[in-house]
Amino acid sequence: MWPKDISAYGYWIDNTMILVSVITVAVAILSFVIIGYSLIAFRKSKNPRATRKLGLISKLVYLDVVLLILDIVMVSFSSVGWSHVIQGRKELIEEHKNYVETRVIGRQFFWSFVYPGLDRKFGTNDDFTLGNYLVVPVDTTVILTLTSGDVIHSLFIPNLRVKYDAVPGRETTEWFISKKVGDYPITCTQLCGPGHFMMQAKLKVVSKDEYERFLKNYRAWLEENDKSEYTAYGEYNHN
C-alpha cells in the first residue's frame, strides 16, 4: 500500500510514519481496552450504584505526562527530518555542485517541464519544454523550481516522498535524489479545477549517461525510448 521509496531522504518520512504509527496504535489500544473494560464492568446491571472513589486507576492521568514525552519525541524526530528533507536543500545545492535543475510550470491541466539543455542555463537557445514528462538522472541532486501559470497546483511524486505547491506569482523549490532507475507517477494534489484528476505526469529516472544523451537530442531520445508517452509543448513562453 505504501509506495516503494526510491528517494535518498525518503527514510525520514517512512521512519516518522513508523514511529507515529507505533505510538498512536499503542495509545489507541490502551484507551479502547480501558473504555471497553469500564463499559462491561460498570454497566447498570453489574454495578447498580456508582461510587465516586476511583482508587488506583486515577493515576491514569499521568498518561498525559507520558503522552507529553512521546509528543516531544515525535516532534523532535519530525523536525530533524524536516530540516533534512526540506531545509537541507540549500547546503545540498552548494555541496553537490553538479546538480540538475528543471523548471516546473503547472497549468490547467498539465505540467510543463522546462529543461535547460546541455549548457545547463535557462534562457538560452537550447532550452526545451516537455509536457507531463519529467526526466531526471539517477543518484544526482535534482532541483525543481516550481511555479504556476494560473491557479495553485501541487506536485506530488509518491515514490520520492516529494510534494510541494506550485503557486502563481512565486517560485518554490523542491529537491530530491532518486536512487532507482524506472518510471514513476506524478500527480497534482491541489484542487485546480474540473480537470484536476487528469493532471498526471510521468517521471522517468535514467542513468547519468542516458540523461546526457537526452539533453543532447531529446527528440531522438524520445523517439527511441518512449515514443507514445510524451507530448511536446514546444518552447515555453515566459509571459
Partner 1 sequence: MESIITIEDAHTEHQGFIRRYIFSTDHKVIAIQYLITALIWALTAALLALFFRTELASPGAILTPESYNASVTMHGAIMIFWVAMPLLIGAFANLCIPLMVGAKDMAFPGLNMLSYWVFFISSIVLFSSFFVPGGPAPFGWTIYPPLSADPRFTGAKMGGILFLFALILEFASMLMGGINYITTTINLRTRGLSMMRLPIIVWMQFIAALIFLLSVTPLVAGVGFLLLDVIVGTSFFRVTAQSQGDPLLWQHIFWFFGHPEVYVVLIPGLGIIAEVFASHTRKPIFGYKSIVYATIASAILSFVVWGHHMFVSGMNPSLSYPFAVTTIAISVPFSVILVCLALTLWNGSIRFTSSFLFALGSFVAFIIGGLTGLFLGAQVLDVYLHDTYFVIAHFHYTIFPSVILASFAGIYYWFPKMFGRKMSESWGKVHFWGTFIGFNIFAFPLFFLGIAGGPRRYYDITHIDYLRHFQWIHVLSTVGAILLIASQAPFIINFFVSIFKGKQAERNPWKATTLEWLAESPPPHHNWNGMVPIVVNDPYEYSPEEEREDFKPQGILISREEVFREGTDAPIGKH
Are the CB atoms for 150 and 107 separated by under 8 Å?
yes
- Burial call 141-172: b when 16+ CB within 10 Å, e when fewer: bbbbbbbbbebebbbbbbbbbbebbbbeeeee
168: cell is 502563481
Q: Which of residues 120-149 bind partner 1 (CB under 8 A)?
A: none
129: cell is 519544454
Which of residues 44 and 227 has its CB atom nearest to partner 1 in the complex? 44
35: cell is 473504555
Of residues 102, 146, 96, 136, the one with CA closest to residue 120 = 102
Of residues 128, 183, 160, the one with CA closest to residue 8 = 160
> How far apart are alpha carbons 227 and 233 in whole angstroms?
15
Exactly one of 120, 179, 196, 213 binds partner 1 (CB under 8 A); that residue is: 196
In whole angstroms, how close is the CB of 116 to partner 1 at the nearest point?
22
Would you count residue 22 as binding partner 1 (CB under 8 A)? no
Exactly one of 118, 119, 124, 170 binds partner 1 (CB under 8 A); that residue is: 170
3-state secondary structure of 159: helix
Which of residues 34 and 232 has its CB atom nearest to partner 1 in the complex? 34
Write the interaction track for partner 1 spanning residues 210-239; mark x where CB under 8 A is met and - where it is not.
-----------------------------x
Would you count residue 33 as binding partner 1 (CB under 8 A)? no
**Strand pairing category for 110-115 and 100-107:** antiparallel
> How far apart are alpha carbons 84 and 91 in whole angstroms?
10
In whole angstroms, how close is the CB of 216 to partner 1 at the nearest point?
30
Exactly one of 43, 180, 208, 216 binds partner 1 (CB under 8 A); that residue is: 43
3-state secondary structure of 146: strand
Which of residues 4 and 208 has its CB atom nearest to partner 1 in the complex? 4
The separation between CA 64 and the C-alpha centre of its own chain, rounded to angstroms, equals 32
Would you count residue 44 as binding partner 1 (CB under 8 A)? yes
Which of residues 28 and 220 has its CB atom nearest to partner 1 in the complex? 28
The torsion angles phi and psi of 180, rounded to 5 degrees, stand at -135, 140
Would you count residue 48 as binding partner 1 (CB under 8 A)? yes
Exactly one of 112, 132, 141, 190 binds partner 1 (CB under 8 A); that residue is: 190
Considering only the stretches 111-119, 136-144, 159-167, 212-220, report the one whose residues sit in contact with partner 1 under the rule CB under 8 A. 159-167
Which of residues 193 and 234 has its CB atom nearest to partner 1 in the complex? 193
Contacts of 194 (CB under 8 A, 6+ apart): none
Exactly one of 22, 75, 118, 220 binds partner 1 (CB under 8 A); that residue is: 75
In whole angstroms, how close is the CB of 99 to partner 1 at the nearest point?
18
